[in-house]
Amino acid sequence: MSVVESEALPSDPGSARDGQPPRSAGKPPWVAELKRFEKANPRRVAIQLLDTLVPYLGLLVLMYMTMYWHLPYLVTLALAFPAAALMVRLFIFFHDCGHGSFVASPTWRTVLGNVLGVLTFTPYADWCRTHGIHHTTAGNLDRRGVGDVWTMTLDEYRASSTGRRLAYRFFRNPLVMFGLVPFFSFIVLHRLPSRGSNRAQVMSVLLTDLALAGIVVAAALTVGIRAYLLIQGPVFLIGGPVGVWLFYIQHQFDPSYWARTAEWEPMEAAMRGSSYYKLPPMLQWISGNIGLHHIHHLRPRIPNYNLQDCLNAVPQLQLPDPLLLGPSLKSVRLKVWDERRKLLLTFREMSQQIQQSARLA
């Protein structure tokens, strides 16, 4: 299942990707020094694959054995939780490969990216393109719409039709965002090439779909389709929402950063618009240090296993107000961006703002 590796993702915020010139203004000298943390470490790669990929596959087998031994299905479901955590961690490795990191060899990155893409239901080359666009547009109000969470401004919402307002409220409902969206994105949308995909990216979608179909057929001929769904289903239904939450919280928090193209700066988008999500050690391990997202947006080619070392070594990255797990849960209430006040509003705050503006008009 070898496809041509997607065009490399940007190594710096603001690198040219989708027809726009790079922007580097405002980056202090210490940002360039972070490049030393981009070096791949074969030993750490081997350890990560051993402590994540092997137990993930082992847990899937063990889940089947609990059913084969006719143990209560609750035992199988209990095993789905650690399996889902490991699937989330595997997606971080997949994500690293897409950024030209994790392993030094481009060939092995392509192989690993495609294999991990099958395990996480995501076509490698096609995802690389849309995620690369996300990295060069995060926080830019004029370039939303690819690889990000649908976010409207207060003025846009105010000017929208009733139907569009209802659609936006539906999408931003937590039950939809973290319930339906993971299923729709990974199971439905990822089975189709994204708009603007080239031939290699279309092939990555087709080959991933073929590999997944092969797994389903093999399961049907061996353990049975029912067993496969009862094993893979809960693993995905637990891991999918966790993955979407991690992506959501990376840029949907307060205080944050959004700007129009004329004022948008990649340094600001990274340091103020990408979260420093300080998680408990076990959750940080599961999420592959992706909570150190401000570093990731500064230097996307730093592999997950070097992010904590980078944070520890560079005082400028040790921001005084990290986003903690408890307070971060309140971010789910943030819905629209107020360009004038430069903050995210809840729907209630937005309604109050609209009513106040109407009274003053």
Residue 277: what are its φ and ψ, rounded to 5°? -95, 100
Per-residue confidence (pLDDT) for residue 10, from 0 to 100: 42
DSSP type of residue 259: B
pLDDT at position 358 is 74
Dihedral angle, C-alpha 241, 246, 248, 249, nearest 10 °: 130
Q: DSSP for 213-258, please give it.
A: HHHHHHHHHTT-HHHHHHHHHHHHHHHHHHHHHHHHHTT--SS---
pLDDT at position 360, please?
73
Neighbours of 30 (CB within 10 A): 12
Predicted local distance difference test score (pLDDT) of residue 20 = 42
Low-confidence residues of the chain: pLDDT under 50: 1-24
Q: Where are the alpha helices (DSSP H) in 276-338?
A: 281-286, 293-298, 304-313, 325-328
Which of 86, 23, 88 shows the shortest CA–CA distance to 52? Answer: 86
Q: Could you give the 3-state DSSP secondary structure of residue 361?
A: coil
Q: Identify the CA nearest to 290 among candidates 309, 269, 276.
A: 276
Cβ(306)–Cβ(300) below 8 Å: no
Question: E strand or H helix at 98, and its extent?
Answer: helix 73-98
Task: Identify the three-state secondary structure at position 345.
Answer: strand
Residue 338: its H or E element: strand 336-338
Q: Is 153 helix (H, G, I), strand (E, B) or coil?
A: strand
Tens digits of per-residue pLDDT, 109-123?
999 999 999 999 999
This prediction's pTM: 0.91
Question: Which pLDDT belongs to residue 354?
Answer: 84
CA distances from 1 to 95, 113, 205, 209 (A): 18, 10, 11, 11
Predicted confidence at residue 22, as pLDDT, reads 43
Quick check: 149 and 251 in contact, CB under 8 A?
Answer: yes
